[in-house]
Amino acid sequence: MSDLSVSADLLRAAPSQPSGAAAKVRETAEAFEASFLAQMLKPMFEGLKTDGPFGGGQAEATWRGFMLDEMAKKTVAAGGIGLADTVMAEMLKMQEQRP
């Protein structure tokens, strides 16, 4: 028989997801980070030509904004750049200071 051992990490409880107001604050902070990232990505694509054999032409230029928004959302979903954490902390701090 082989010696089977279980990692202590597997026995720990999964971190709980924020609920209620904290979840809404997190969602808002992530939306802000995605918006920020989309604005930062925008200049990278402004000088690209959309013509040529593999370009999308006018349609690519038209839909580029949507593509950048989705790229930003996917970046945030993958962990982002940490901006959402900072924004969330500040939002919670501001809520604590309200009477």
For the chain, give every domain's residue range.
19-97
pLDDT tens-place string over residues 48-83 = 777 777 777 778 878 888 999 999 999 999 999 999
Q: Are 86 and 94 in contact (CB under 8 A)?
A: no
* Dihedral pair phi/psi, residue 48, rounded to 5°: -75, 135
pLDDT, position 26: 93
What share of the chain in percent tops pLDDT 90? 45
DSSP assignment of 13-61 equals PPPPPP-THHHHHHHHHHHHHHHHHHHHHHHHHHT----STT--HHHHH
Which pLDDT band, with edges at 50, 70 and 90, does 97 fall under? confident
Ramachandran bin of 15, using left for φ above 0, alpha for ψ from -120 to 50, beta for the remaining angles: beta
